[in-house]
Amino acid sequence: MSGLRRAVADAGGTEIAEAALVLPIMFMLLLGIYWFGRALNTYETINHAAIEAARVAAMASCATCARPVNTSVAGTAAGQVLQAAGLDPNQVGQIPNETVPLCFVGGTASCNSAATYGGPNMCIYYQVALNSLGPQACGVYVSMQYPFQFYFPFTSLNLQQLHLRAHAQRAGEY
């Protein structure tokens, strides 16, 4: 027992100094894990919202016709996904200077056109040439961005705002 008391008495406060050095680093590491996890969660949520909007936009508006649904219906579907995850659909924005290739008429379309706009500041393009589905595939392309702000004190990321982007495409019959 006396050996243990002697070892504790010889330490002389070094544990406190070590804790003062290690605890802030450990706290910053845990805080970084939390904020990068939140960013990943937000990114996955807006991707899911874009996929849902593309799925709804690619559906026909009735059982016997091939006419696509209104863009506001697809935008509402994306807004519901965002609201269910606790994100504000009004913060969704368009991706600036984005153009997509059109399928039948050739050329490109941009989101400035009223025919491609849908939902809260998201872009829904119809009759788009889909690259990943083969050279002749046509369908719907949805794009949006969502702001995310880090709160990571004592670093260059504190109050840094990122625009997380999401894209989704779906083949459709037009």
Write out pLDDT tens, residues 19-47. 888 999 999 889 889 989 999 999 999 99
Domain carrying residue 90: 2-171
- Read off the tokens for 30: 């845990």
**What is the rounded average pLDDT of the residues 123-140?**
75
Give the sheet arrangement for strand 117-118, strand by strand: 117-118, 122-129, 138-149, 161-171
* pLDDT of 8: 59
Place of tokens 């269910």: 84
Q: Which of the four pLDDT bands, split at 50, 70 and 90, describes residue 145?
A: very high
For the chain, give the mean pLDDT.
79
Question: Is 174 or 1 the better-scoring residue by pLDDT?
Answer: 1
* pLDDT of 118: 44
pLDDT tens-digit readout, 45-103: 999 999 998 888 888 666 556 566 667 788 888 888 999 999 988 888 888 888 888 87
Query: How many domains, in total, are found in the chain?
Result: 1
* pLDDT of 107: 77
* pLDDT of 113: 47
What is the C-alpha separation between 33 and 124, in angstroms, rounded?
Answer: 34
The identity of residue 27, as a single letter, is: F
Whether residue 124 contacts residue 116, with contact meaning beta carbons closer than 8 Å, is answered with yes
* pLDDT of 71: 74
pLDDT(5) > 50? yes
Q: Which of the four pLDDT bands, split at 50, 70 and 90, describes residue 140?
A: confident
| Cα–Cα nearest to 75, from 92, 96, 100 | 92
pLDDT(170) > 70? yes
- How is residue 89 annotated by DSSP? G
| Alpha helices by DSSP H, 59-160 | 71-84
pTM equals 0.76
Compute CA distances 4 → 25, 81, 91, 172, whole Å: 30, 60, 61, 76
What is the C-alpha separation between 52 and 92, in angstroms, rounded?
Answer: 15
Question: Is 42 or 133 the better-scoring residue by pLDDT?
Answer: 42
- Read off the tokens for 60: 């026909």
